[in-house]
Structure 1
């Protein structure tokens, strides 16, 4: 009896792991966003300098995350999913998410769109990509923090169904700006 239980447990654990790995990968391909083609792929260590350049362009010369923080995230073997979008071989946007099987929460860790292409739907596309992955994994929530002053991002998140759920005082390193916690509650998974 114990042997059969072990076999059953290993089978469901392996199936879950394989499904999760499949969900948290993406085949490199061209996607159309607002009529423009972008090359979508998973982020690699070699993308980090361009990701930092986007952060500098977005955050007035600052980089909220440094090179080591990005590399640490990209080296994690499980639970992280980072995508980048390129237009004409130039990295123009990226998004990262931490998937927590224990809490059934997908936490957006970082999202940035180069100012040259903001307002073209890339942020919405990347957020939808992460939400779709969370739905596929039967998660309960997608969460994030957003700067109190970043009203454009707040409008995007609210339009997608995120709700403001709290404030983290003096959250951001450097300027100590407050962060607004936002949560998107995913529909309950259908019972099989």
Structure 2
């Protein structure tokens, strides 16, 4: 009986893991956004220092995540996807997302674009990739948190179809700023 259960368990979860590996696999390649060429790649451990640099540039010298947090996320390849965008070998943007089949939810854990490349479509492009990945996995929603003061990012997310679902009081470490929960119902998202 135990042997049958183990075989059943292995079959179910190996199929799920294979499905996730197929969908979350991404080949490094060039993309064009607003007539500008960029290089899109899966994030590597060697990208972490530059990702921290982007955080410092975006968050006034602070890094909400440290290198250990990024390294921990990059190790979890079966249910996480982290992407980076470069131009002329300079890291300009990154995004991270978790995919949870049990909750039928994908969750954007982190997204940042260097200030001098904001409003050029990079964030929009990266989020659209995660929307498509979550849809391919058959998940019901994509969620994220955003600082209450970051109205520019909230507007981007709303343009992509996200709606405000609530407030998390004192969510952010350090300054304890509130976070706005935002959710995109994937059946409503454009394919």
TM-score (norm 1): 0.91
State the superposition RMSD in angstroms: 1.9
Aligned to 2:157: 157
After TM superposition, which residue ranges in structure 1, 4 or more long, deviate above 2 angstroms? 3-17
Q: Give SS of 1:27's match.
A: coil
Aligned to 2:20: 20
Aligned 8 A contact 2:145 2:179 in 1:
yes
Aligned to 1:76: 76
Q: Give SS of 2:19's match.
A: helix
Alignment pair present for 1:111 and 2:121? no
Shift in Å at residue 77 of structure 1? Answer: 3.7
Relative to structure 1, the CA distance from residue 183 to residue 4 in structure 2 (aligned partners, 3 Å threshold; closer, same or farther) is: same
Structure-to-structure mapping, 1:90-101, within 5 angstroms:
90-101=90-101
Aligned to 1:129: 129
Relative to structure 1, the CA distance from residue 32 to residue 9 in structure 2 (aligned partners, 3 Å threshold; closer, same or farther) is: same
Aligned 8 A contact 2:17 2:78 in 1:
no
Moved more, 115-124 or 9-18: 9-18
Shift in Å at residue 17 of structure 1? Answer: 2.3
Aligned to 1:179: 179
Aligned 8 A contact 2:20 2:78 in 1:
no
Deviations 1:147-172 (A, max 9, x none): 00001100000011100000000110
Q: Give SS of 2:108's match.
A: strand
**Number of aligned residues:** 187
Deviations 1:93-121 (A, max 9, x none): 00000111110100000000000100000
Relative to structure 1, the CA distance from residue 168 to residue 5 in structure 2 (aligned partners, 3 Å threshold; closer, same or farther) is: closer
Gaps of 5+ in 2: none
> CA–CA distance in 1 between the matches of 2:177 and 2:7?
51
Relative to structure 1, the CA distance from residue 11 to residue 35 in structure 2 (aligned partners, 3 Å threshold; closer, same or farther) is: same
Q: Give SS of 2:93's match.
A: strand
Q: Give SS of 1:167's match.
A: strand
> CA–CA distance in 2 between the matches of 1:183 and 1:153?
14
> CA–CA distance in 2 between the matches of 1:5 and 1:74?
31
TM-score (norm 2): 0.92
Shift in Å at residue 4 of structure 1? Answer: 9.6
